[in-house]
Structure 1
Amino acid sequence: MGVVNVTPDSFSDGGRWFDTDTAIAHGLALVARGADLVDVGGESTRPGAVRVDPEEEQRRVLPVITELARRGVVVSVDTMNAETAERALDAGARILNDVSGGRADPRMTAVAADAGVPFVVMHWRAHSAQMQQHTEYDDVVADVLDELQQQIDDAVAAGIDPANIITDPGLGFSKTGAQNWELLAQLDAFHALGFPVLVAASRKRFLGELLAAHGSLRPTDEREDATAAISTLSALADAWAVRVHEPRPSADAVRVVARMREAGA
């Protein structure tokens, strides 16, 4: 899953793809470099980010989704807003990726149910401005699994076909760096929920902390090798997809894992 942030303030590449034509070109380039689908978002969810009103979010993403879909790209829309989701689906999006897992907008699960499309349920506790104030867990893996199960139950109760549910442990969302590593170390536990798993670790702060030198975080665009390592581990753990800013290293990593398994079959 390649990432197109049509935003001025995303943590990794805010502003680089804010122009519509540039965002479209970037989406096509991601596919050329190995992305199977492209996730288009118009609202930054980095820690501390301020919410964007739906009209502005739609102004940013709808032309991009329309053109990428017209070109045959499989598009997911990264939104917490039900109205944006509806209009994105009308524009050609085929997957709803809601980082709140249906909690930010009470209409979202109904929209996903009515559309009958895949719906990503990410573990979520609070919006970006407050999320890092909600990192207390008794046992981060067990607690995230329990809370994610409740979100899944709510989605199914709203009419979403379980066959359309994809889960995401929500790395970096109400999680410390150490907690992210604990979740990654036990990705197998998320398969026990019975749904495909999306892993979104690309370029995140905990990788910058791991690779820090002389007290300074490794810059976001210099975290690709670490991201590809996470993609390798995710493939070994049978993840459904990895959400990445630069697809080629991760696509290559997945091919290596697939070929190794073929040789050992």
Structure 2
Amino acid sequence: MSKEVHYSVGEFARLTGISVRTLHYYDEIGLLKARKNDRTGHRQYHSGDIVRLQKIVTLKFLGYSLEQILPLVQQETFDSDLLDTLLAQKRELEEQRSRIDIALKAINRATAVLQDAKEVDSHVLIGIIHSIQTEKEQREWLERYVPSEAVSGLYDRSEEELEELDRRYVELVQEVKRLVGTPVEDPAVQQLVDEQLKINIGFVGEDSYEALSGLADLDEEKLKELEALIPTPFTPEEERWLQQAMEHYMKQNGLS
């Protein structure tokens, strides 16, 4: 029968790659207790603790908390209880992956905007990120009031197309803020409205644009729900001015 091997805390840390500080913490919370050597008074681990530590490291890798791991490492066999926790852990990790994917998408889009514009109004950039973050909720809301193909035409785009839309959106906001207060009949204001309408129609298509334009007929309470998902970068004064400019454009072009 082979003699059991014992390790000091430092030796065990070097052997397993786990820091002494972490081992002390595991000892403190009862997750992996070191034993006191009666002869030397020093705390030590034995070879069987390596297997227990492997359980801890593996369950941590799967995303379990130390609180969840504590009862699991004490079990010699696993049954359907572990199956239930594994399935729950799988769902949690899939949700985390989804959040990470959305965060990476937002970072990529924000990076593209900043690389192009160099300097962007903080409300505008946060608005773009917030819009990406709430895209799922936006789609669900829109599909209650407009055809699903119109919603798909708005969102199902390549990253290159979406980055171009972000760039034009930033330019629009900057131009509105520069021109606000200018008489709405001024040629520069009307050109701004004309260019923006052409961009919008060109992006989603004429049929989808008309369907989405119908949202303006919804009652105020419903529109507030959409505004909460897609906050405007404009002040109330800028919104009123922009609306007046749009109304003047529609009247001048026989579209009202």
TM above 0.5: no
Structure with more strand by fraction = 1
Classify the TM-score, shorter chain.
Answer: under 0.3
Structure with more helix by fraction = 2
Give the TM-score of the pair, scaled to structure 1.
Answer: 0.24
Give the TM-score of the pair, scaled to structure 2.
Answer: 0.24
